[in-house]
Chains A and B, each alone.
Chain A
Amino acid sequence: MSSFLLEIKGLTKKYSAGTIALSGIDLQVKSKEFIAVIGPSGAGKSTLLRCINRLVEPSSGSIEFAGDRVDQANARELRRVRSQIGMIFQHYNLVNRLSVLENVLHGRLGYMSSIAGMFSRYSEEDKKKAIALLRKVGLENEMYKRADELSGGQKQRVGVCRALAQQPRLILADEPIASLDPKSSAVVMDAIHRNCAEQGIACLVNLHQVDVAKRYASRIIGIKNGKMVFDGPPEALTDHHAALIYEGKESQMYQQPVGEEPQDRRYA
């Protein structure tokens, strides 16, 4: 039993097509850490996050979360681990035809029996907490709207609330602001950062903007070609390091990469 919240050793992911997305990643995360994972698109950031809650099956290596071996967990154990890990996605991934409130309450499914969750039998307390979360991000007037009626920035705030509704110990945020304008980006990053700090949630957030990473993170990890090439406090990340991480893809450092295909290559 380690003293870390999350401990990853020798994590490797090979896709069936033969591309190696991750090779031998070692990473320890303490509770309450706010870690930014930076790197160019295609470096393996998404795969790393998705291996932690096994939305992507790792090829080898060990992942230990709060004393549980995630990589060896059976279906039931995996669901328990997942219920304690919130996730935020680049494309929000809301269920469009459900209400905002229902989408937030999806965060509670992992704590309910299969049948109760199927029929949306959420407790009144859960509902009140979900509404409180929505109020906190300024969406209390939108909670009965359908998710597809919201703007991108609003949708991502719902995504943040869904992750927080899980009362997780760790939040994985996969490019949470890559599809948003600068103003919405600030609102969303603030919401993630403030809530994690208040509730003592550790956070791993994939970003490609170095400036944003430096502003929020307590620690920065740089990933390039599936290998970890930087690990240290934001002050230690010099322009020289950043240039090395983004070598050949410098244009992605400060803005959203142009021409990135959102569908197929997102997880590569």
Chain B
Amino acid sequence: MKIPISHKATRRNQRWFFAVMIVLFVPCAFYLKLSYSQFADGVGRIPDIVKQFLQISPEDLPVLLRELLTSLIIAFLSVVISVFLSLLLSFLIADTTAPNRWIAKGLRLIVVIVRTIPTTIWVLLAVASMGFGSMAGVLGLLFPTTSFLIKSFTAQIDEAGKEPVEAIRALGGTWWHVVFNGAIPTLYTTFLALIAFNFEITVAETVILGMVGAGGIGVLLQEYISYYEFAPLLMGILVVFLTLFALELMTNRIRKRLARGAR
């Protein structure tokens, strides 16, 4: 008999994980009935589309940049409004500063539900209610953005602990004193980093959501795709890529600084 060598529980867990992956994968792959001819047709179309892509021209660049600015503004405005809303609501929710436990619990539940609904659906609903345009974009983004910020803010407030809050309470300070003299000054930099991070996510989402009618560069991209105008589409993709890439670099630096500050 062979001598076993491995740690049994670790190996069993890993085998189990991969087994489940395979057991689920095979029937799912058959269930989806992916047809080879559809695949081959699609792949056959690639050279043609690449050729069209390569006729890239800067002709539409001014329009693209203008719409990119619109996208950035939509993201900016929704983040600004969200910051005000979530600052207020976070202090009502966080354990250390909540004035009423039951209100806090109720608000927490609402935040969870709002967060679970994907951003796309919020924007879709906003567009259906307000009509196409930037304002629907701002309104639709408000919900996921605010719920994200509330969640991050409350976590930070709770982490900061009870001491500063109790110190102000002991001096006879009101709830407003606690918020504006105790919590906000101490958490100022952390909040700024979170807001910057949130802005990156929101810009990425704004680009997508333009495609469902919420204004900005996404509207243009959607038009190019539906009219098969691949030359300007590639230009648009490049603009989006460079913007998101630059933003990612910026927030990475902010995140690193935040990590250093936390240590």
Binding site for B on A (CB under 8 A): 97-99, 101-102, 105, 120, 122, 124, 127-128, 131, 144-146
Contacts and interface: CB of A to CB of B under 8 A. Distances in A.
A127 B7 contact: no
A40 B5 CA distance: 40
A97 B10 contact: yes
B2 A98 contact: no
A98 B3 contact: no
B12 interface: no
A122 B10 contact: no
B100 interface: no
A33 to B, nearest CB: 34
B12 to A, nearest CB: 13
Contact of B5 (A101, A145, A146): A101
B226 interface: no
A127 B3 contact: yes
B8 interface: yes
B37 interface: no
A99 B3 contact: no
A144 B8 contact: yes
Interface in B30-48: none
A146 B10 contact: yes
Nearest to A144: B7
A132 to B, nearest CB: 12
A185 B5 CA distance: 28
B174 interface: no
Contact of B7 (A98, A128, A131): A98
Contacts of A146: 7, 10
Interface of B: 2-8, 10
Contacts of B10: 97-99, 146
B6 to A, nearest CB: 5
Contact of A124 (B3, B6, B7): B3
Nearest to A146: B7
A102 B6 contact: yes
A124 B2 contact: yes
Contacts of A124: 2-3
29 contacts: A97-B7, A97-B10, A98-B6, A98-B7, A98-B10, A99-B6, A99-B7, A99-B10, A101-B5, A101-B6, A102-B5, A102-B6, A102-B7, A105-B5, A120-B5, A120-B6, A122-B5, A124-B2, A124-B3, A127-B3, A127-B5, A128-B3, A131-B3, A144-B4, A144-B7, A144-B8, A145-B7, A146-B7, A146-B10
A105 B8 CA distance: 16
A124 to B, nearest CB: 6
A145 B8 CA distance: 9
A55 to B, nearest CB: 26
A261 to B, nearest CB: 15
A146 B6 CA distance: 9
Contacts of A102: 5-7
Contacts of B6: 98-99, 101-102, 120
Contacts of A122: 5
B11 to A, nearest CB: 9
Contacts of A144: 4, 7-8
Q: Which 9 A-B pairs have the closest CB atoms?
A: A99-B7, A127-B3, A146-B7, A101-B5, A102-B5, A99-B6, A102-B6, A97-B10, A124-B3
Nearest to A101: B5
A131 B2 CA distance: 13
Which of B2, B3, B7 is packed against the most chain A CB atoms within 10 Å? B7
